[in-house]
Amino acid sequence: MKKIFFIIILTLLFAAGMHAQMPKEEAEATPNYTQALEAVQSGNDIDRAMSLLEKEVKTNPTNGYAALLLGRIYLLNENNVGAISSLTKAAKALPKGDKESLVGCYMAKGLAYTFMNDNSNALKCFEQAKKTDPKAGGPYLVIAQIYEEQGDSAKAAQTLAEALKADPTNAEIHEELGKRAANAERHKEAIEHFSMAIAANPTNEDYLVERAVEYFQTDNAGCGADDLLDAFQYWISGGMQGGEKIEAVLSIFIEYEHKTLLSKIQERNADEESFIWNILERAVYGKIPDRKAALAYFQNLYEKEGASVGLRLAQAYYDNGLYSKALEVIEANKDASEEDDDYLNLEIKVLQGLGEKEKLMRVLNANFPDNDGGSFPYIIRTAEEYYDGNMEAALAAIDKALEFDDMKEKSKALLFRGVILKCMEREDEAKKEFNRVLKMAEEGEEVEERDIMLVNAYLGNSEQVEEIIGKSDTDDNDDLLAMAQTRAIQGQYDKALLYLELLKENGYPHYKSLGRDPVFQPMKDMADYQQLMAAWKAVVGE
Q: Is the model more confident about 369 or about 440?
A: 440
Q: What does the CA dihedral 193, 194, 195, 200 come to, rounded to 10 degrees?
A: 100
Over the stretch 174-186, which tens digit does the pLDDT of each residue have?
A: 998 999 999 999 9
Q: For position 9, what pLDDT does the model report? A: 45
Region of poorest pLDDT, from 60-69, 237-246, 339-348: 237-246
Over the stretch 288-300, which tens digit does the pLDDT of each residue have?
A: 989 999 999 999 9
Identify whether the C-beta of residue 507 lies closer than 8 Å to the C-beta of residue 538.
no
Compute the average pLDDT of residues 14-27.
50
Q: Which long-range contacts (CB under 8 A, 24 or more apart) does 263-267 make?
A: 263/225, 264/222, 264/225, 264/226, 264/229, 265/229
Q: Is the model more confident about 18 or about 130?
A: 130
Q: Which long-range contacts (CB under 8 A, 24 or more apart) does 127-136 make?
A: 129/102, 129/103, 132/99, 132/102, 132/103, 132/106, 133/99, 133/100, 133/102, 133/103, 134/166, 134/167, 135/166, 135/167, 135/170, 136/99, 136/103
Note the Cα 266 to chain centre separation in Å.
26
**CA dist., res. 152 & res. 163, Å (int):** 17
Q: For position 14, what pLDDT does the model report? A: 40
Q: How confident is the model at residue 11 (pLDDT cuts 50, 70, 90)?
A: very low
**CA dist., res. 74 & res. 153, Å (int):** 32
Residues 6+ apart with CB under 8 A from 432: 418
**CA dist., res. 355 & res. 233, Å (int):** 44
Q: Is the model more confident about 266 or about 32?
A: 266
Q: How confident is the model at residue 252 (pLDDT cuts 50, 70, 90)?
A: very high
Q: How confident is the model at residue 39 (pLDDT cuts 50, 70, 90)?
A: confident
Q: For position 360, what pLDDT does the model report? A: 92
Q: For position 148, what pLDDT does the model report? A: 81
Identify whether the C-beta of residue 398 lies closer than 8 Å to the C-beta of residue 416.
yes
Q: For position 4, what pLDDT does the model report? A: 41
- The pTM assigned to this predicted structure is 0.74
Identify whether the C-beta of residue 382 lies closer than 8 Å to the C-beta of residue 398.
yes
Q: Is the model more confident about 47 or about 297?
A: 297
Q: For position 23, what pLDDT does the model report? A: 61
Compute the average pLDDT of residues 256-266.
94
pLDDT at residue 188 is higher than 90: yes
Q: For position 78, what pLDDT does the model report? A: 87
Amino acid identity of residue 373, one-letter, is G
Q: What is the percent of the chain with per-residue pLDDT over 90, rounded to a whole number?
A: 56
Q: How confident is the model at residue 504 (pLDDT cuts 50, 70, 90)?
A: very high
pLDDT at residue 101 is higher than 60: yes
Identify whether the C-beta of residue 170 lies closer than 8 Å to the C-beta of residue 193.
no
**CA dist., res. 37 & res. 27, Å (int):** 10
pLDDT at residue 383 is higher than 60: yes
pLDDT at residue 12 is higher than 70: no
Q: How confident is the model at residue 542 (pLDDT cuts 50, 70, 90)?
A: confident
Q: For position 1, what pLDDT does the model report? A: 42
Q: How confident is the model at residue 15 (pLDDT cuts 50, 70, 90)?
A: very low
Q: Is the model more confident about 335 or about 457?
A: 457
Compute the average pLDDT of residues 303-320.
93
Q: For position 518, what pLDDT does the model report? A: 93
| Average model confidence (pLDDT) across the chain | 88
Q: For position 338, what pLDDT does the model report? A: 80
Q: For position 515, what pLDDT does the model report? A: 86
132-141, 236-245, 488-497: range with highest mean pLDDT: 488-497
Q: For position 21, what pLDDT does the model report? A: 56
Q: For position 5, what pLDDT does the model report? A: 44
Compute the average pLDDT of residues 75-97.
91
Compute the average pLDDT of residues 312-322.
94
Q: For position 22, what pLDDT does the model report? A: 59
Identify whether the C-beta of residue 395 lies closer than 8 Å to the C-beta of residue 420.
yes
Q: For position 414, what pLDDT does the model report? A: 95
Compute the average pLDDT of residues 447-459.
95
Q: For position 211, what pLDDT does the model report? A: 97
Q: How confident is the model at residue 225 (pLDDT cuts 50, 70, 90)?
A: very high
Sign of the alpha-carbon torsion through 286, 287, 292, 294: negative
Q: For position 371, what pLDDT does the model report? A: 60
pLDDT at residue 81 is higher than 90: yes
Q: For position 18, what pLDDT does the model report? A: 40
**CA dist., res. 395 & res. 381, Å (int):** 10
